[in-house]
């Protein structure tokens, strides 16, 4: 599980779950590329990462744009000369009843949650294929595994896109096994982040009531798994979809 000298790319890595996972990679010794649309946030996160004794690259990028993904890959290769792990974490949701969901918002959610992981996997995967090794970790959601209570989670586009990401993970794992690239997915349950904290404050009792462990995900609860999946510890794991949800999908 030692990541010393390796390079991990984390999309949406400047805040929330992305920053938690980027920090985990750095704590295990990896150099980290942090990208999101807001460069200022990336620079702040990268500064904190470097305090852990590794190198970090902050890069402003809209991962739904193929040309920007390509320049992100080029910047990574120019600075580090390699890419060992890609964490497709950038995502979004739009809350609305199904019958009122605007097509524009539906498309925006799918563009970021499923098209962007395809674009990033394609760009960075080409580099991994050259060296016959690599790790791709897609951050899906338990919303991609089951239907959710509309009183708390009324985003049909989010659940649909995360379900697509789950099967993208499985199929890409099969397609790229020949290149020794392991592709796995993490399906977080409810973690409080800057994006959802206002919603959580309104319905916290209901949300926590659906979690057998009786709490939401914490600041360290994704760290161990992401290091396993980014390291040699997972060399015989591919196409795996792992919930980290406090038991939510167990009942």
**Where in the chain are the domains?**
7-242
- Give exposure, 107-146, as e/b (b: 16+ Cβ within 10 Å): eebbbbbbbbbbbbbebbbebbeeeeebbbbbbbbbbbbe
Average pLDDT, the chain: 96
CATH number for the domain formed by residue range(s) 7-242 = 3.40.50.720
pLDDT tens sequence across 44-65: 999 999 999 999 999 999 999 9
Model confidence at 149, in pLDDT bands (50, 70, 90)? Answer: confident
d(CA 73, CA 64): 14
pLDDT tens sequence across 161-217: 999 999 999 999 999 999 999 999 999 999 998 888 888 998 999 999 999 999 999
Bridge partners (DSSP) of residue 217 are 191
The pTM (predicted TM-score) of the whole model is: 0.96
d(CA 140, CA 73): 22
Question: And the tokens for 57?
Answer: 């690259």
**Residue 59: active-site member:** no
Task: Find the mean pLDDT for residues 75-87.
Answer: 98
Q: Which of 158, 176, 190, 191 is catalytic?
A: 158
């Amino acid at each position: 599980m030692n990541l010393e000298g390796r390079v991990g790319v984390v999309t949406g890595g400047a805040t929330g779950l992305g920053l938690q996972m980027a920090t985990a990679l750095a704590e295990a010794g990896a150099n980290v590329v942090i990208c999101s649309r807001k460069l200022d946030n990336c620079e702040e996160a990268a500064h904190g990462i470097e305090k852990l004794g590794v190198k970090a690259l902050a890069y402003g990028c809209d991962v739904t744009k193929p040309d920007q993904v390509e320049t992100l890959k080029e910047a990574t290769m120019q600075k580090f000369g390699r890419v060992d792990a890609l964490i497709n974490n950038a995502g979004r949701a739009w809350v609305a009843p199904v019958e009122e969901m605007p097509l524009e918002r539906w498309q925006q959610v799918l563009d970021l949650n499923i098209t962007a992981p395809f674009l990033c996997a394609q760009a960075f995967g080409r580099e991994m294929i050259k060296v016959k090794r690599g790790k791709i970790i897609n951050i899906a959601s338990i919303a991609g595994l089951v239907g959710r209570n509309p009183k708390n989670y009324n985003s049909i586009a989010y659940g649909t896109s995360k379900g697509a990401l789950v099967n993208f993970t499985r199929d890409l794992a099969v397609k790229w096994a020949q290149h020794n690239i392991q592709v796995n997915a993490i399906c977080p349950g409810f973690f409080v982040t800057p994006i959802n904290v206002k919603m959580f404050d309104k319905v916290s009792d209901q949300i926590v009531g659906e979690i057998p462990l009786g709490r939401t995900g914490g600041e360290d609860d994704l760290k161990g798994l992401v290091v396993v999946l980014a390291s040699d510890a997972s060399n015989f794991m591919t196409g795996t979809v792992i919930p980290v949800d406090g038991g939510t999908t167990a009942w």
